[in-house]
Structure 1
Amino acid sequence: MEDKLVYIEEAEQPLSMHPKKFALWLFIVTVVMIFASMTSAYIVRQAEGNWLEFDLPSVFWYTSAVVVLSSFTLHWGYLSAKRDNLDQLKVALAATVVLGLVFLVGQWYSWVALVDRDVYFVGNPAGSFLYVFTGLHALHLISGVIFLIIVLISSFKYEVHSKQMARMEMCVTYWHFLGGLWLYLFMFLMLNH
């Protein structure tokens, strides 16, 4: 009797991801879909006519610069955490929180500038869309600032370091996403207002 060699294929390992990171990515996809549908609706409604023409508030340029700078400070914090430089991590996270708050204040001033130009939430759809875009983004940014504060508090408890990066990585992913989303919205509005 011959011995038969039987080769058993090893079972493929499933892709694994931290469950909270997976949930974050699902949330990000949801937000992308919301803003994609809103920008599509904007284009369709604009084509129907009766569209108010106005200049975007100049403060949008400043808030865009602030959000880009905040991405740099958070990336500095991420690199500091990977190198276990916890003092720099705390400074970088605190700076990012401050920049996030500056962005939100700038958003408020953009609404003041819109009102000064007689662009209101109720009235022409052009203004309504702008308030919804900026307001919904501001709401998500508030959640991002809260997340930053949670990570900052965790850094003071020494819960963020090179061996424990999941929370920091999630925060960085979400914050960079919010920054990219703002830049997308700003460019979209610049090209389509």
Structure 2
Amino acid sequence: MPINKLTEEPKQVLSVNKWKFMVWLFIITIIMLFASQTSAYLVRRAEGNWVEFDIPQIFWFSTLVLLVSSVSMHFSLQAAKKNNQALLKTAVAITFIFGMTFLVMQYLGWQNLQQQGVFLKGNPSGSFFYVFTGLHMAHLLIGLGILVATFIMAFRMKINSKNTLLVEVCATAWHFLDLLWVYLFVFLLYFR
């Protein structure tokens, strides 16, 4: 028997961190959910009896707020990698505040829709709008929960340059939710 077969190094096993795997599974699930919903939207819209309505201006501003929250989330990850605890805490807090502001603005947008006579029950165009924005808001609440956990861990000094996993997971989920909203908003603008 050749000697090199006895002294072979064991093959490296590829593994993925369970939290990163879970966030990517979460993302894939949400993509599938919204792909099915946008497909249903297009099919139902093609059937007719579709009322067009103006999307309230506040949805444009809420989109901007969410995009800015992605910037602050990016700064929080960079701060964690550089052990800048003050910036980490501040950036996570700002991201949370912008996330909450987005939710409030979405609610105000719903109120504006109701003033236009667009309700959840009624024409499918309005129903789909509420379902899309409501589902996104529900997922954003999960993102806010992850932000709260990140904020608590940052204050307990559990996040540093050697332990950035929670901030990485949080940033991945948050950026995805922001991109998802941009997709939904553009979709709803284009296919009114």
Q: Which bracket does the TM-score occupy, shorter chain normalised?
A: over 0.9
Distance in 2 of aligned mates of 1:47 and 1:173? 35
Determine if the alignment matches structure 1 residue 153 to structure 2 residue 152: yes
| TM-superposition CA deviations, 1:146-188 (whole Å, max 9, x none) | 1101100110000111111111100000000000000000000
| TM-superposition CA deviations, 1:106-133 (whole Å, max 9, x none) | 0001100110110000010000000000
Determine if the alignment matches structure 1 residue 35 to structure 2 residue 34: yes
Deviant stretches of 4+, over 3 Å: 3-12
How far apart are 1:40 and its partner, in Å? 0.4
Distance in 1 of aligned mates of 2:141 and 2:41? 24
| Aligned twin of 1:84 | 83
What is the root-mean-square deviation of aligned Cα atoms in Å?
1.4
| Aligned twin of 2:73 | 74
Determine if the alignment matches structure 1 residue 94 to structure 2 residue 93: yes
TM-score by length of 1: 0.95
- Number of positions where the alignment pairs a residue of Structure 1 with one of Structure 2: 191
Distance in 2 of aligned mates of 1:85 and 1:5? 51
TM-score by length of 2: 0.95
Task: Note the residue ranges of structure 1 that are not aligned, 5 or more in a row.
Answer: none
Distance in 1 of aligned mates of 2:151 and 2:4? 55
Cα distance change, pair 4–176 in 1 and its aligned pair in 2 (3 A): closer
Distance in 2 of aligned mates of 1:50 and 1:4? 77
| Aligned twin of 1:59 | 58
Identity among equivalent positions (%) equals 46
| Aligned twin of 1:167 | 166
17-26 vs 167-176, which moves further: 17-26
Distance in 1 of aligned mates of 2:183 and 2:171? 18
| Aligned twin of 1:111 | 110
